[in-house]
Amino acid sequence: MALQDVCKWQASDTQETSPHLPQAGGWAVPRGWDPQAFLQTHGPRLAHGTTTLAFRFRHGVIAAADTRSSCGNYVACPASRKVIPVHQHLLGTTSGTSADCVTWYRVLQRELRLRALREGQLPSVAGAAKLLSHPPT
């Protein structure tokens, strides 16, 4: 609410996600193409994989991941961060293409911060998961 008060701006519907989020599959392939078929024909062969673990216990959660970012045999960064705090009660782990992970982390962090400003409290873990699993159409 603080940002809205300073800017004298009122959102029409605070429950909607930002229109600036990428569309599902909107970055990967041209419109009308099946993403899997297109990438098999035209896309690069991506070599990726990582290990992330999270354990819930009585006093909280412990999350761990390996730190090496690589592409095949090439190690791009031996000390990358794959356990990333989103807000004070939520963290995420990443695996796969680093640029995609960073992009979605930033989008999620921004959208959750905007929701916190609108609603006056941090969004729930379920709300964050819903935002990632149901991108706007």
Q: What is the DSSP string of 61-109?
A: EEEEE---EEETTEEEETT---EEEEETTEEEE--S-HHHHHHHHHHHH
State how far the Cα of 13 lies from the Cα of 118, in Å rounded to an integer.
10
Is 50 one of the annotated active-site residues of the chain? yes
The pLDDT, as a whole number, for residue 129 is 85
The pLDDT, as a whole number, for residue 23 is 53
Residue burial 83-116, b: 16+ Cβ < 10 Å; e: rest: bbebeeebebbbeeebeebeebeebbbebbebbe
State how far the Cα of 126 lies from the Cα of 10, in Å rounded to an integer.
25
pLDDT along the chain (137 residues), means of 10: 58 54 53 78 67 87 84 75 83 80 85 89 86 69
The pLDDT, as a whole number, for residue 25 is 45
The pLDDT, as a whole number, for residue 68 is 80
CATH of domain 40-133: 3.60.20.10
Phi, psi of 62 (to 5 degrees): -115, 130
Q: Which of the residues 50, 51, 67, 103 is marked catalytic? A: 50
The pLDDT, as a whole number, for residue 44 is 66
The pLDDT, as a whole number, for residue 41 is 79
Query: pTM surpassing 0.75?
Result: no
CB 105 within 8 A of CB 81: no
